[in-house]
Structures are given as structure tokens and as C-alpha cells.
């Protein structure tokens, strides 16, 4: 069965510093991995995905994520944090090949960027 773990409930970073939000996964086949961001009282916004190809995936708002097969990780990164990046971030794994397959979410990590 597929699962996703986000070990940190909260990450605090000063504005301008690099940030990392951690995610590890467990899948029985090829991993289809995603990062989403949620602002208060809103749905989820897609940031980036890993399906196949380059291990470094670039996404929206300057975010990127590195797929590491040996460590089964898919950490979200940004070189220079902005206060507006403060939000709830979810790592997710898709349960199958098709985009119509259900998605399993991690527990979420609250990112707080201080000015």
C-alpha cells in the first residue's frame, strides 16, 4: 500500500533563507509524487509533480523538489523564502498510473516564514 510521511508538523524559516520541507514515501511500484499548498480556508493548489525523468523537479512560485529513489524521499525546497510562502504544505502519492487514481496525502507541514 502507498503511504506518505511528513515528519515535521512545522518548519520555521527566516525570510531570504533557503527552506526544505521533508517528505518520504512508500510505494509498491513506480512513484507518482506531488506537492500541494493550502492557504487558510482554501482548497489545495498544485505546486509540482514527479512522474518520471529528471530527479530535480521545478514547480510554481520558485519551488522545486528532489526525487531520491534510494532514500525514498521527495523533499520540497526553495532557495530563498518569502513571507508569502507561509502556508500548509502537503506531499502526496498517487495510488496508480492513471491521473484518475486516488491520491494519498501526508499529514501536512505548516511553513512559517518570519520577516
Partner 1 sequence: GAVVSQHPSRVICKSGTSVKIECRSLDFQATTMFWYRQFPKQSLMLMATSNEGSKATYEQGVEKDKFLINHASLTLSTLTVTSAHPEDSSFYICSAPFGVPGNNQPQHFGDGTRLSIL
What is the binding site for partner 1 (CB under 8 A)? 32, 34, 36, 41-46, 49, 51, 90, 97-100, 102-108
**Cell numbers 508538523: residue:** 9
Q: How far apart are CA 22 and CA 86, in angstroms?
A: 16
The least CB distance from residue 110 to partner 1, in Å, is 8
Indicate if the alpha-carbon torsion angle 95, 97, 100, 105 is positive or negative. Answer: positive
Q: Considering just the CA atoms, what is the radius of gyration of the chain in Å?
A: 13
The least CB distance from residue 62 to partner 1, in Å, is 18
The least CB distance from residue 24 to partner 1, in Å, is 15
73/105 with CB nearer partner 1: 105
Tell me the helices (H) and strands (E) count for the chain, helix number first: 0, 12
The least CB distance from residue 16 to partner 1, in Å, is 27
11/106 with CB nearer partner 1: 106
Asked if residues 66 and 18 have their Cβ atoms less than 8 Å apart, the reply is: no
54/100 with CB nearer partner 1: 100
Amino acid at each position: 500500500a502507498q503511504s506518505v510521511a511528513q515528519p515535521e508538523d512545522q518548519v520555521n524559516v527566516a525570510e531570504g533563507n533557503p527552506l526544505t520541507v521533508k517528505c518520504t514515501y512508500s510505494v509498491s511500484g513506480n512513484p507518482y509524487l506531488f506537492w500541494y499548498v493550502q492557504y487558510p480556508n482554501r482548497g489545495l493548489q498544485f505546486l509540482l509533480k514527479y512522474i518520471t525523468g529528471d530527479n530535480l523537479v521545478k514547480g510554481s512560485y520558485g519551488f522545486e523538489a528532489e526525487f531520491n529513489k534510494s532514500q525514498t524521499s521527495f523533499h520540497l525546497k526553495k532557495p530563498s523564502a518569502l513571507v508569502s510562502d507561509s502556508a500548509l504544505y502537503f506531499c502526496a502519492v498517487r495510488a496508480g498510473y492513471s491521473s484518475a487514481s486516488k491520491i494519498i496525502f501526508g499529514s501536512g507541514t505548516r511553513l512559517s516564514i518570519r520577516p
